[in-house]
Amino acid sequence: MAAEINPLEQFEIRPLIPLHVGSVDLSFTNSSLFMTIGVVLVTLLITLATWQGRLVPGRWQSVAELSYEFVANMIQENVGKEGMRYFPFIFTLFMFVLAGNMIGMVPYTFTYTSHIIVTFGMAIVIFIGVTVIGLARHGFGFFKLFAPAGVPWLLLLLLVPIELISYFIRPFTLSIRLFANMLAGHAILVVFGGFVAGLGIFGIAPLAMDVGFILLEFLVAGLQAYIFAILTCLYLNDAIHLH
């Protein structure tokens, strides 16, 4: 009898180097390891690709330049030229999420973006940062974001609470969207992979479906990194232009 497959086992966080300070667990885990790998890979890609900048770029330099232009265009289209001062943060955010999503597609690795603590940590930093930028640029005028000009005061009684709620749930919706998509996608791959292993020669049809799901999951991995970055741009645009 085939061993029972647990599709959620791949998401378990395991300590690699146990470390406790009092009651606080500071262990270096598999999640920490693959986040470190993600940062190192992105840093190596950008550093080595631009180490000897050539007029006619090679393969890796082209990848780095395309990544740069993609994020730069995203910021200019959604925030404007004023948003380019925040390019390093958004570029780093995009590449970190993309690296985590893609690393997780390699067998026996760990998808750190499938954990709500990671995605929420990034989302709350974005939320606090955007709020601070809005208050720094507009002072108390930032609160006009929740009460647009020209709206009758009776309607404001309904509109302001809705706007406040929608604003303060941003870190939750931003983090849950990424976490849920990566969690669900990888769980489905394991389930269909189990069908293939259990059916043997009769698993050709599930195998074809699994290949299709893998290709779809690669698409979702890139798309979710893009969505995370573009929503950050839209939130930044609200803080800068009060739209």
Q: What is the pLDDT of residue 130?
A: 96
**Overall average pLDDT of the 120-138 stretch:** 96
- In this prediction, residues 132-144 reach a mean pLDDT of 92
Task: For 80-101, write each residue's pLDDT tens digit.
Answer: 999 999 999 999 999 999 999 9
Q: Report the mean per-residue pLDDT for the chain.
A: 88
Three state DSSP letters for the chain: CCCCCCCCHHHCCCEEECCEECCEECCEEHHHHHHHHHHHHHHHHHHHHCCCCCCCCCHHHHHHHHHHHHHHHHHHHHCCHHHHHHHHHHHHHHHHHHHHHHHCCCCCCCCHHHCHHHHHHHHHHHHHHHHHHHHHHHHHHHHHHHCCCCCCHHHHHHHHHHHHHHHHCHHHHHHHHHHHHHHHHHHHHHHHHHHHHHHHHHHHHHHHHHHHHHHHHHHHHHHHHHHHHHHHHHHHHHHHHCC
8-53 confidence digits (pLDDT tens): 788 899 999 999 888 888 899 999 999 999 999 999 988 888 776 6
Tell me the pLDDT tens digit for each residue of 56-66. 667 778 888 89
